[in-house]
Amino acid sequence: MVPTATILARSTFRNKHGKTAHGLIRYGTRYKITSVIDESCTGEDAGELLGLGTLGIPVINEVPSGDDCLIIGVAPSGGKLPAEWREDIKTAIGNGMDIISGLHQFIGDDTEFCALAEKAGVSIHDVRRPPRELLIASGNRSKVPVVLSIGTDACVGKRTLIMELIKSARAAGYNPGFIATGQTGIMIGCDAGITIDSLPADFMSGMVEKMILDVEEQGKDIIFVEGQGAISHHAYGAVTHGILYGAQPHGLVVVHAPTRTHRSSFPLLPMPALEDELKVLKAHTQSPVLGIGLNCSENLERADCSKHIQEYEKKFGLPVEDAILGGADKIFKNIEQVLLKK
């Protein structure tokens, strides 16, 4: 039975820092989401706020009783627990709810929370806690086609494009695999997943390689790997490199936000032009780019998004889609023609 869960996303659900909450509501299969906690939009329906229509998931102001879990649904820079959320977690534990967290700061290492959880008979699960056995990459490449999402920024839509490509692959009759490399993908549900940025650098590529080879043995037709950060990003580029080298992808899909002027949460880092990022990518991999995802729906009207899509298709000669507005069928069709030879 799928456990029920409330998402804690105070003051973040309507912005990009609430991407974990957004992903759980759009694509989640591991938990049945019953409500979202965010005092800034109490009374709204979470589905309507995401443009999905009414889903019957109310936005509330307090931790409810009756659910199996409380999921921390925010991904702030630095990954620390906001001090004002401690009372929410203590209330949830008191209500008999397990705590699911993707923060860098491990909730399970907090002595107060641990004592309360033991008394209440509930568990604390830190999704970012790394596995005990870590491997270095061997260079073993999957025989099954691997597609990696990569982007020009963090919080740009790499996982969203992958999820839409998986939907397109299933609709076309394929059996796709999904490798999660971040906390949201793991919480959504995946065939294998580790939060790669929680690993020592020497083991990032090795653990991505291992996950892909494990999923290959499950008999998948194609494997989609969630990317992180951006290869030229001053803060997150090391993780991007680790995933790229471990995945050894047969093809790439690249995600870009054309209206952003600076990288998300980094005002000193201007956004690169897509063509400049593609040049950097070409210096690190021979994997072909098979499609471009544009994240323009956060700032533009649908008509303006369509203009951007047409401009980028003409400029780069590749299928271009905004996954939120239009899915990813066009990009998957190109992946199918190049990698699956159908």
For residue 178, what are the β-bridge partners? Answer: 224
Q: Which helix (H) or strand (E) holds 69?
A: strand 69-72
Query: Parallel, antiparallel, or unpaired for β 266-270 and 262-263?
Result: antiparallel
Phi-psi region of 248 (alpha: psi -120 to 50; beta: other; left: phi over 0): left
CATH topology assigned to domain 4-126: Rossmann fold (3.40.50)
Residue ranges per domain, the chain?
Answer: 4-126, 146-340
Stronger pLDDT, 57 or 79, i.e. the higher one: 57
pLDDT at 150 over 90: yes
Say what the pLDDT of residue 130 is.
95
How much of the chain, in percent, has pLDDT values that exceed 90? 91
Q: What is the pLDDT of residues 200-254, one digit of tens each?
A: 999 999 999 999 999 999 999 999 999 999 999 999 999 999 999 999 999 999 9
Q: Do domains 4-126 and 146-340 have the same CATH topology?
A: yes
Residue 298 clears pLDDT 90, i.e. is over it: no
Average of per-residue pLDDT values in the chain: 95
Q: Quick check: 145 pLDDT over 70?
A: yes
Query: Given this model, what pLDDT does residue 342 score?
Result: 60
- Percentage of the chain exceeding pLDDT 70: 99
Span 324-335, average pLDDT:
96
Classify domain 146-340 at the CATH superfamily level: P-loop containing nucleotide triphosphate hydrolases (3.40.50.300)
Q: CA–CA separation, 269 vs 152, rounded Å?
A: 12
pLDDT for res 154: 94
154, 158, 256 from 263: Cα distances, Å? 7, 15, 11
Residues ≥6 apart with Cβ < 8 Å to 108: 114, 124, 125, 126, 129
pLDDT band at 77 (very low <50, low <70, confident <90, very high): low
